[in-house]
A and B are shown apart, each in its own frame.
Chain A
Amino acid sequence: MKGYRNYFANKLIWFGITLVAAFVLNFFLPRLMPGNPVAAIVARLAQGMSNTAGVQAIYEQYAKLFGTDKTMLEQFFLYVRNVFRGDFGYSFSQYPRTVADVIRASIWWTIFLQFPAIIVGWVLGNTLGAMAAYRKGGFDKVLLPVSIFVSSLPAFGMAVILLVIFGVTLKWLPTSGGYGYDLIPNLSWSFIWSVIVHYQLPFWSIVLITIGGQAIGMRSMAIYELNADYVKYSRFMGIKDGKIVRYVFRNAMLPQVTGLALAVGTMVGGALVAEIIFSYPGLGSTILTAVLGQDYPLISATTLIVTIMVLIANFVIEIIYGFLDPRIKAAQAD
């Protein structure tokens, strides 16, 4: 256990640094853009508004939110303090709800949709890729082009195709929303069932996309490993095939775990767009409403939350990786 301490400490420090960087970017990027952001946002919001008092009120609210009267550094610390209190201000498109409120309502939909889907897709994809590498022949010949094609489809494309087939044509599953529009969220069976039914299409569209990419990666890794010297040596030694395969796939798996850690950000991005296709009530749809409503505070907060989610997922995967890869323990014990 002691050997791991350095590794974890290292990862934790790195996680902290990235978090700070994400904060800084989230704060400074919009402010680095040419022009006064407050004036630009107000100008957009106030289009067609004749009430000068209203425009002035909007301006002041934004000026207060951005704190443009203070120095950049002061603004930054104010922002950090507010974020730590969970205070993201008011949403402009969904006034009088606060941004924190809007996010609290949507974040769980996204978490429970995307992370299980990515994990299931990852497991299935790796299994298929490993089988293709090991079996070769016809299975591989079919699986590889199919995987390449499926992983070429954008997540929203897969979402639309599944939606049209199973939702519109076959009418097996509902086409939009996270639960029936006639239901109020509660713990009744009909509500839970409705949630499960609405969950299927978004879930499987993310799973299918993930399978494609992962299968390709795992296939090449496994082919590399199957051709490695230790495999031939073990064969000469007369070790059973089943046992060798276990070692091979454990070794091939490690880069795939790292790959998952690095790709999780991209996957979440794609899945957020897929959510929009299904009008799933998660963060993806929240970003869309925020963009359409020119709701700056909501966009800023949602992107920050998504970044933090991805960072945490990353951190967790790195920790798991630490346990899976014996080399890390060995390296840290020295």
Chain B
Amino acid sequence: MKHTIRQVFRSGKFVVGFSIFMGILLIVTFYPLIIRDAPLKIIGQGTFFAPGIYVNVYDSMGSPHYTILLDDAAAKRIADKLDDDDRQAIKEWLVAAGISEDAIEIENTESLLDLWVNNFDPTTRIPGMTNADRNYYIRLNTALDGLLSTEGAIVASVNPETGALEEKGVIRQTDYVNVNQVPNVRVLPLGTDNFGRDVLTELVQATAVSLRIGIVAGLIATFIGLVLGLVSGYIGGLVDDVIMFITNLFIVIPSFVLLILISFSIGQEQRGAFTIAVVIGFTSWVWTARAVRSQVISLRNRDHVNLSKLSGHSIAHIIAFDILPYIASYVVMALILQISSGILAEAGLSILGLGPRTTDVPTLGLMMNWAMIYQAHILGKWWAYFPVIIVIALIAFSMNLMNTGLDQVFNPALRD
């Protein structure tokens, strides 16, 4: 046993797969201990906030201000307000208004704005320009107004008695706050989802739930498959015929179809994560049963098994001590595959709208489902779906790698 484990850990593929899987497991275990937010709590008012550090604006006004003089601060500020499309639009207007094209330097913000301020006149009618375009230029002009000014902004609050504005302070363009001194800063490494929930916290919880679904489904499937395979392979005869008949039927009837039918019939209210796991387990044991059976048949007439029979051991004893150890490696491999396909099955079901009911726990499939329903992929909100795909792929990848590694250890013919 010890020797086998040592040998398994010498296989590079297994070690890589195992490390990835353990990494995921560690994150899933320790993240909730450190960050104790409820994973399904809606914190954002709005959909799909981009990943980043969110600093409270109100608090940053009250925090100590520091003056930092940076040369490119003004240029950055303007560049942020004046994107390439706007510059192009300004150039088009200026050309239409009769400025020669050579005089317009689109990249030189100062000269461009100079030309604009000196020439733009909202009342000028340029032939062929639609009203919408005219309004766009007027809006653009308002936005640019004061862009080059170096004055600060005044913060004021309403006096509750008189209703008049009272000046509280001035924020100069060179004022900075230290993020560490702002009491309310929220880091959203993966932004928020369509409901305004923190994607990272949700993703960690979803991974944990999906892993649990996979493990429950895998254990059930492997257990049923193992028992049926052992019974049918060892006892043989009519029992074997009946079991193999059923197994062969379910091998061709797609388990996906059975999953859809059963999940739909269970109904939304009864579909918890655990129920889904059980249903997946009960629809995916066929492969294990078949493979275990064929292995048992080849073991059944080995000398050591016959010897055990002659010694008067019971069937249970023979199966447990003379057969199981020989197929243990195979069963472990089957279990690993079942877990990863269980996670995939849950994801597939959830995308069809047949996943666990949505109110108690997130799962990877449900997150994917919501991202697709809210068209995150079309809108370019990558943080809502891409991490989910990556996590699913990493889990399956690590398990497949472990399996390939085990396969190479236990099937010497496959070694390079």
Question: Which A residues touch B414, using CB under 8 A?
Answer: 220, 223-224
Total inter-chain residue pairs, C-beta < 8 Å: 146
Which of B261, B266, B340, B399 has the largest count of A CB atoms less than 10 A from its CB? B261
* Cβ A33 vs Cβ B265 within 8 A: yes
Q: Is the interface of B mostly helix, strand, loop or mixed?
A: helix
> How would residues 217 to 233 of chain A score, 1 for a CB under 8 Å from any chain B CB and 0 otherwise?
00010011001000000
Chain A contact residue count (CB 8 A cutoff): 60
Question: Which B residues touch A307, using CB under 8 A?
Answer: 253-254, 257
Q: How far is the CA of A14 from the CA of B249 in the complex (A)?
A: 9
> How would residues 161 to 201 of chain A score, 1 for a CB under 8 Å from any chain B CB and 0 otherwise?
10110001000000110000000000000000000000000
Q: How far is the CA of A314 from the CA of B353 in the complex (A)?
A: 28
**Known A30-B261, A266-B256, A288-B353; contact A273-B348, beta-carbon cutoff 8 A:** yes
**Minimum C-beta distance from B333 to chain A (A):** 13
**Known A33-B266, A156-B351, A269-B348; contact A168-B256, beta-carbon cutoff 8 A:** no
Q: How far is the CA of A273 from the CA of B348 in the complex (A)?
A: 6
Q: How far is the CA of A137 from the CA of B125 in the complex (A)?
A: 72
* Cβ B264 vs Cβ A164 within 8 A: no
Q: How far is the CA of A21 from the CA of B253 in the complex (A)?
A: 9
* Cβ B251 vs Cβ A160 within 8 A: no
* Cβ B253 vs Cβ A265 within 8 A: yes
Q: Does A268 belong to the interface (CB within 8 Å)?
A: yes
A117-125, A147-155, A322-330 - the one binding chain B: A147-155
Q: Does B336 belong to the interface (CB within 8 Å)?
A: no
* Cβ A152 vs Cβ B257 within 8 A: no
**Minimum C-beta distance from B28 to chain A (A):** 18
* Cβ A25 vs Cβ B258 within 8 A: yes
Residues of B105-149 contacting chain A, CB below 8 A:
none
Q: Does A18 belong to the interface (CB within 8 Å)?
A: yes
Q: Does B319 belong to the interface (CB within 8 Å)?
A: no
* Cβ A157 vs Cβ B249 within 8 A: no
Q: Does A246 belong to the interface (CB within 8 Å)?
A: no
For B256, give its contact among A161, A223, A265, A299 (CB under 8 Å): A265
* Cβ A223 vs Cβ B413 within 8 A: yes
Q: Is the interface of A mostly helix, strand, loop or mixed?
A: helix
**Minimum C-beta distance from B373 to chain A (A):** 10
Question: Which B residues touch A311, using CB under 8 A?
Answer: 252-253
* Cβ B252 vs Cβ A310 within 8 A: yes
* Cβ A287 vs Cβ B352 within 8 A: yes
* Cβ A154 vs Cβ B347 within 8 A: yes
**Known A149-B393, A161-B389, A224-B414; contact A18-B252, beta-carbon cutoff 8 A:** yes
Q: Does A320 belong to the interface (CB within 8 Å)?
A: no
Q: Does B176 belong to the interface (CB within 8 Å)?
A: no
Which of B258, B351, B368 has the largest count of A CB atoms less than 10 A from its CB? B351
Nearest-CB residue, chain B, relative to A28: B261
Q: Does A235 belong to the interface (CB within 8 Å)?
A: no
Question: Which A residues touch B308, using CB under 8 A?
Answer: none
* Cβ A168 vs Cβ B255 within 8 A: no
**Known A152-B396, A168-B378, A224-B413; contact A306-B254, beta-carbon cutoff 8 A:** yes
Q: How far is the CA of A311 from the CA of B249 in the complex (A)?
A: 10
Q: Does B416 belong to the interface (CB within 8 Å)?
A: yes
Residues of A44-75 contacting chain B, CB below 8 A:
44
Question: Which B residues touch A37, using CB under 8 A?
Answer: 265
* Cβ A156 vs Cβ B396 within 8 A: no
Question: Which A residues touch B413, using CB under 8 A?
Answer: 223-224, 227
Give A residues with C-beta under 8 Å from B: 14, 17-18, 21-22, 25-26, 29-30, 33, 37, 40, 44, 136, 140, 144-145, 148-149, 151-154, 156-157, 160-161, 163-164, 168, 175-176, 216, 220, 223-224, 227, 262, 265-266, 268-270, 272-273, 276-277, 287-288, 291-292, 296, 299-300, 303, 306-307, 310-311, 314
- A to B CB contacts below 8 Å, 15 in the list: A25-B258, A33-B262, A140-B416, A152-B397, A154-B392, A227-B413, A266-B255, A269-B256, A276-B352, A277-B377, A287-B352, A296-B264, A307-B253, A310-B254, A310-B257
15 other A-B residue contacts (CB within 8 Å) besides A44-B267, A152-B397: A21-B253, A29-B258, A29-B262, A30-B265, A33-B265, A37-B265, A148-B404, A152-B396, A152-B399, A154-B392, A156-B351, A157-B389, A157-B392, A160-B377, A265-B253
